[in-house]
Amino acid sequence: MIRYLIKNNFKLMSRSFYNVLLLIIMPLVLIAVLSSAFESLLAKYDGDQQIKAGYSAEGDVSREIIDALVSVAEENSMSFTEYPLSDPANLIRENELSAYIVFGNDTYTVYRNSDEKEAAKAVEYMVGTFYDTAAAGALGVQEDASAVTVRQADYIEPVDSKDYYGIVEVIYFGWCAIVCGAALFMNEKKYRIRKKFIVSGLSESGMYFAKLVPIAMVAILGSIISAAASHILFKVNWGDKPLLSLVILTLSVTAASAFGLMIHNLFGENVVVTIIVVFVIVWFNGYFGGAFETYMFQEGVSLELHRLWPIYHTNRALVEISTTGQSLYTGSALIYNAALAAGCSLVAVISGMIRRKVKA
Amino acid sequence: MQTILRTRDLTKRYGDKIVVDNLSIEIREGEVFGLLGPNGAGKSTTMNMICGIVNPTLGEVEFMGKDFKKNRKELLKELGYIPQELAIHGNLKAWENVELFTSLYGIKGAQLKRAVDDSLEYVGLLDRRGDYAKTFSGGMKRRLNIACAIGHEPRLLIFDEPTVGIDPQSRNFILEKIKQSNQNGATVIYTSHYMEEVEAICTRIAIMDNGKIIATGTSEELKKMVVSDPETITLEEVFLTLTGKKLRDV
Ligand SMILES: Nc1ncnc2c1ncn2[C@@H]1O[C@H](COP(=O)(O)OP(=O)(O)O)[C@@H](O)[C@H]1O
Ligand SMILES: [Mg+2]
């Protein structure tokens, strides 16, 4: 019967309310700081100015795909002009292009104008997203089809810096969910509660879920409050699919809580080490997921590296849902976070069982 | 009397150090069994092995005729363990502590509510039920520690030095309560290094030193091991004669 244990763990957590407050206030502070700091960066991308790009086709690359891409680019305030294959550097200089793309059979190469980094990145991001979408069939582009239908062209609608950082910081701090558990961990340790759990026959999974449930619930509640506050205080737009966004947010925080608890178990329930390790890993998660620098314009980070981190999927899904109401990353965000929550829980429980055997 | 708990060759080694050495004891249903020994004798380690907190290096524990290891979950329900070191949540109120630990035995709802109040009343803390445990005095914490282990009405109660470092009133109260629990049907194991306590409440006593039981019997029997007339010697003198007078600094 871990119902009462969960209830009392809730009480212990609420009695050190500062931890929970941190989860609500910190993202708001960061939204205010980062959204103004990066306002100019995202402004360049928000479509007021026309971006000029050139392209060439190599081999027997499908014209349908290129045409579809060009029309999508136009709707996103990018003008694409075809040039015969030539030296990218010269071409970019002579025609004052932000970027130059060479389409091959299965690949494409983007050359960026180093004087116009943001615009070039925007082109690269647009082309990358286009190919993702085309691959998923969501655009309705079929290589052999005679008619090309573009069902959805506005998928890289510019995102306001406030919206971007509003969404991304709430997610980032949701990843710090484990701070809500710190009070719980410290109480259990200080008052030597574990041995009482063992003599009462409580299983490792009982011990684990009695912590996961309140930590995740408090962190989810904190994240929802901070998301609502971001909307009220900064007019952050979360899009018109609040239920879907809520599900993604909830899963992300649950994964984060399970991850933190796993680290806590793996590091012998040492609270300080847990917090440090979790924060370091979460920082990388945020770094590669676009929590500090927008993922669209981040230099030197490949798409594969981005995709390695769960927060990238969550961020992209939520940011794209906020602008266009849909995202190719919805599925991967849901699956990645759910799998992470399940996997971390399993590892946490097993490591607890091993420790009980070895340490006693 | 029936045997309720038996250990066979129970041994615990930490590295080269043998803390509990081939211990075989038998506790009979209905008795108050005293485990008397100086600091560091291995009393707590023995109790922790009986409860499954510490894994024995060797040996086994049989409880109510069943192998403890194989029937752990079921047997733990019949066991109440009051650890030497307090194990109560300072940031929970008295009743919340009792509720939390009693609920772990599967007790819920109205039955749980009743068990919480009964346990608190039993240790004389019912009027302080709403106070945080961290605000309690040493004696009150000890009593709360007991309340947290009796709500599921176990058949065997293990008290590990429950009177260390508390005022005489609390100490007397606890000893009275242990006697009362025993009269209500519970078997009790009581560890202590205070002779007079053990003599006052235990029906049978084992003296433990350096991980071994060196003598077992009633207080009379133990005295007779040292002198022929038990009236001429205190248990303390028996204890010192049997365990030696060397200082124990653990
Ligand atoms: N985890 C441990 N590692 C090493 N030595 C231990 C450990 N636990 C207890 N001991 C040692 O075992 C001996 C017996 O301890 P303990 O059972 O607590 O004695 P008692 O309860 O009789 O005072 C002591 O010398 C103590 O230092
Ligand atoms: Mg001890």
Residue of B nearest to A11 (CA): B92
User: What CA–CA distance (Å, rounded) separates A220 from A258?
Assistant: 13
Q: How far is the centre of ligand 2, averaged over its atoms, from the C-alpha of A262 (Å)?
A: 33
Nearest CA to A245 out of A166, A151, A339 is that of A166
Is there a contact between B77 and B151 (Cβ–Cβ < 8 Å)?
no
On whether both A28 and A66 belong to a single domain, the answer is no
Mean pLDDT of chain B: 92
User: What CA–CA distance (Å, rounded) separates B118 from B249?
Assistant: 40
On whether both A229 and A311 belong to a single domain, the answer is yes
Is there a contact between A344 and A262 (Cβ–Cβ < 8 Å)?
yes
Q: Looking at the domain assignment, is residue A45 inside a domain?
A: no
Q: Looking at the domain assignment, is residue A43 inside a domain?
A: no
- Bridge partners, residue B36, by sequence: B192, B207
Which of A151, A175, A208 marks a domain boundary? Answer: A151
Tell me the chain A residues in contact with residue B12 when contact means C-beta distances shorter than 8 Å.
none
Q: How many domains does chain A have?
A: 2
Task: Please tell me the pTM assigned to this model.
Answer: 0.83
On whether both A185 and A59 belong to a single domain, the answer is no
What's the pLDDT score for residue A150?
40
What's the pLDDT score for residue A151?
41
User: What CA–CA distance (Å, rounded) separates B68 from B63?
Assistant: 6
On whether both A64 and A26 belong to a single domain, the answer is no
Mutation for testing the B interface, residue in A200, A205, A209 having most B CBs under 10 Å: A200
Q: What is the ipTM of this complex?
A: 0.91
Is there a contact between B8 and B59 (Cβ–Cβ < 8 Å)?
yes
User: What CA–CA distance (Å, rounded) separates A224 from A240?
Assistant: 16
Spell out the residues 6+ positions from residue B51 whose beta carbon is closer than 8 angstroms to its own.
Answer: A198, A199, B76, B79, B81, B158
Q: Looking at the domain assignment, is residue A240 inside a domain?
A: yes
Q: Looking at the domain assignment, is residue A317 inside a domain?
A: yes
On whether both A97 and A240 belong to a single domain, the answer is no
Q: What pLDDT, in 10s, does the model give residues A72-108?
A: 788 777 888 888 888 888 888 888 888 898 887 777 8
What's the pLDDT score for residue A118?
74
Q: Looking at the domain assignment, is residue A47 inside a domain?
A: no
- Compute the radius of gyration of chain B from its Cα atoms: 18
Q: How far is the centre of ligand 2, averaged over its atoms, from the C-alpha of A156 (Å)?
A: 68
- Whichever domain contains A136, its CATH number is 3.40.1710.10
Which of A151, A179, A206 marks a domain boundary? Answer: A151
Closest ligand, as measured to the CA of B48: 1
User: What CA–CA distance (Å, rounded) separates A49 from A116?
Assistant: 13
Determine whether the interchain pair A360/B83 forms a contact, defined as Cβ–Cβ distance below 8 Å.
no
What's the pLDDT score for residue A155?
43
On whether both A271 and A232 belong to a single domain, the answer is yes
What's the pLDDT score for residue B20?
96
On whether both A331 and A182 belong to a single domain, the answer is yes
Is B113 touching A (CB cutoff 8 A)? no
User: What CA–CA distance (Å, rounded) separates B38 from B240?
Assistant: 10
DSSP codes, B130-164: TSBGGGS-HHHHHHHHHHHHHTT--SEEEEESTTT
Tell me, rounded to whole angstroms, the distance of Cα B25 from its chain centroid: 14
Helices (H), B151-244: 168-183, 195-201, 219-226, 235-243
On whether both A166 and A266 belong to a single domain, the answer is yes
On whether both A145 and A223 belong to a single domain, the answer is no
Q: Looking at the domain assignment, is residue A329 inside a domain?
A: yes
What's the pLDDT score for residue A20?
65
Longest Cα pair distance anywhere in chain A, in angstroms?
A: 79
Which of A151, A181, A206 marks a domain boundary? Answer: A151
Name residues 198-237 of chain A within 8 A of B (Cβ).
Answer: 198-202
On whether both A349 and A222 belong to a single domain, the answer is yes
Longest Cα pair distance anywhere in chain B, in angstroms?
A: 58
What's the pLDDT score for residue A96?
86
What's the pLDDT score for residue A149?
39
On whether both A176 and A133 belong to a single domain, the answer is no
Is 50 exceeded by the pLDDT of residue A163? Answer: yes
On whether both A116 and A232 belong to a single domain, the answer is no
**A15 falls in which pLDDT band (50, 70, 90)?**
confident
Is there a contact between B47 and B191 (Cβ–Cβ < 8 Å)?
yes
Question: Which residue range is the domain that position A88 belongs to?
Answer: 52-151
What's the pLDDT score for residue A152?
42
Phi-psi category of residue B160: left, alpha or beta, with phi > 0 → left and psi -120 to 50 → alpha: beta
Is 90 exceeded by the pLDDT of residue A36? Answer: no
Residue nearest to atom 10 of ligand 1 (CA): B19
A218-222, A279-283, B13-17: least confident range: A218-222
Long-range contacts of A93-100 (CB under 8 A, 24+ apart): A95/A52, A95/A54, A96/A52, A97/A52, A97/A53, A97/A54, A98/A51, A98/A52, A98/A53, A98/A122, A98/A123, A99/A51, A99/A53, A99/A54, A99/A123, A99/A124, A100/A53, A100/A54, A100/A55, A100/A56
Tell me the chain B residues in contact with residue A5 when contact means C-beta distances shorter than 8 Å.
100, 103-104
Is B78 touching A (CB cutoff 8 A)? no
Q: What pLDDT, in 10s, does the model give residues A122-133?
A: 788 788 777 776
Most confident of A169-178, A241-250, A325-334: A241-250
Q: Looking at the domain assignment, is residue A170 inside a domain?
A: yes
Residue nearest to atom 24 of ligand 1 (CA): B40
Q: How far is the centre of ligand 2, averaged over its atoms, from the C-alpha of B162 (Å)?
A: 10
Q: Looking at the domain assignment, is residue A335 inside a domain?
A: yes
